[in-house]
Amino acid sequence: MVLSRKKRTMILAACVLALLASASAEDQSMTKKVTIDEAVALAMENNIQLSSDAIDLRIKKRAKDYSWNVFIPATTASGTIMQTNMKETSMGTKLEGKDRWSETARLSTSLTVNMALIEGLRATRQSYEAGKITWEQAKQDTERNVRKGFYGILVQEESLKLAREKLAASEDRYRQTGVNYRNGLVPELTVLKTQLAVETQKPALQQSELELDQLKRQFAFLIGLPVNTTVELDGQIEPVIVSLDENTLVEKNLGNRLDVGLLAKNLELLNTQVRAKQFQIFTPNITVAKDWAPSKQPIDASEWTDNSGSFSVTLSFDLAALIPFSQTGQSLAEAKDTVRKTELALRQATYNAELEIRNLAKKLEKYRASIATMEMNVALADKAYRLTEQGYRAGTIEYLDLKDAENSLMEAKLGVITEKYNYLSTLLDLETALNSKLN
């Protein structure tokens, strides 16, 4: 049958629409496979909070680069055309028409300097240096969060895999029990128990799948991927076990910590601000000003005359600021107290930093020993499960004993995975505490 041109056109349009809809559906749901290093790189490039922190650093850098602009004189220019209300001059000369009009141009410039300006320049530079430390902290925290999130998803995936394997084994056991029941080898109660074991696992498995999907969506947001992106991770939880000495770690790395360094830089900045306030109080302000104000009156005069321009140099003291209980004096006292508080905070932070490093090193050693023990437990639990399953199939082992062996094996496998994650997570925390990578 030959189709009319109109029908052929409609069919072609429908095909095109179907193709476009298919392409749109593919665009709306994108899958991206990433390794842990790729995830970190994506987060460094796309993370929203990190981008905001980068803007803060850029603001501080711009302030440092142009801090010299405090020495740019304040300069204003203006022009005025004016008609006087005077009808005659003091000499009795009558003013009429254009004689009552005048025009004036004015250019004024002034600069006030004080020794505090020098400390202000130094404070701007120190603020930028503190900002760089904060920026490094933000990058460090982002990388740690990405790596922990990556490993956390791997743990969840492995847990889900074990749960699916357990469900598959239960379903296989249920089918086999059904066969045995039909052959008169087991009572109906055993069939019901195996069926119940299958059905009770399904809701928990569905909940785990939902939680894994939520974790992946959160991870996609963390590394800056679109909301509709499905993340697939290319990696495994296999930590490289390292042997560490806490005394060596403290000795070599305590001074490199970013939080301690930031407090030290803030203390330096506060001391600079105190000196700036002292210079502001105890040194004079010097103001240099120049004013040009040429004018023409009448407005059609042939020459400009400057009878009101001036040049001045002014030396001034704020005497009220010398009084200790004045507002300025109290501001200086508060600044000094803030310095003392920051010194105490720095001492406390240094103590806490050493304590944190030692505690994390001890936790790593604990997890190292736990991993070795739990891997041995997995081997024992696997052997016990296989023997129990053989006995169950032979009819010498009760179903509850088989379930106990199965649960013990799954718990042992999850225990190993969890301890490996704990080791990696603690290692990341220790690297952050040391501000150094541990190979």
Residue 91 lies in a domain: no
pLDDT on residue 2:
45
Residue 344 lies in a domain: yes
- Specify the number of domains making up the chain: 1
CA gap 431, 438 in Å, rounded: 7
DSSP code string of 349-410: HHHHHHHHHHHHHHHHHHHHHHHHHHHHHHHHHHHHHHHHHHHHHHT-S-HHHHHHHHHHHH
Q: State pLDDT tens for residues 392-409.
A: 777 777 777 777 888 888
Residues lower than pLDDT 50 in the chain: 1-3, 7-8, 11, 16-28
Is the CB of residue 239 less than 8 Å from the CB of residue 104?
no
Residue 67 lies in a domain: yes
Backbone torsions φ then ψ of 94, nearest 5 degrees: -75, 140
- Is there a cis peptide before residue 298, judged by omega within 30 degrees of 0? yes
Residue 439 lies in a domain: no
Say what the pTM is. Answer: 0.77
pLDDT on residue 427:
93
pLDDT on residue 179:
84
Q: State pLDDT tens for residues 51-98.
A: 889 999 999 999 999 999 989 999 999 888 877 666 666 565 666 666
Structure tokens of 266?
A: 């803030």
Residue 314 lies in a domain: yes
Report DSSP state, residue 325.
Answer: T
Burial class of residue 53 (count of CB atoms within 10 Å of its CB; 0-12, 13-18, 19+): buried
* SS3 assignment, position 115: coil
Residue 46 lies in a domain: yes
pLDDT on residue 132:
94
Is the CB of residue 204 less than 8 Å from the CB of residue 163?
yes
49-56: long-range pairs with CB below 8 Å, 24+: 49/138, 49/142, 50/138, 50/139, 50/142, 53/134, 53/135, 53/138, 54/135, 56/131, 56/134, 56/135
Is the CB of residue 101 less than 8 Å from the CB of residue 298?
yes
Is the CB of residue 276 less than 8 Å from the CB of residue 120?
yes
- The whole domain housing 380 covers 36-81+99-434
Residue 292 belongs to a domain with what CATH number?
1.20.1600.10
Which residue, 215, 83, 117, 113, is CA-closest to 159?
A: 215
Residue 20 lies in a domain: no
Report DSSP state, residue 20.
Answer: H
Residue 3 lies in a domain: no
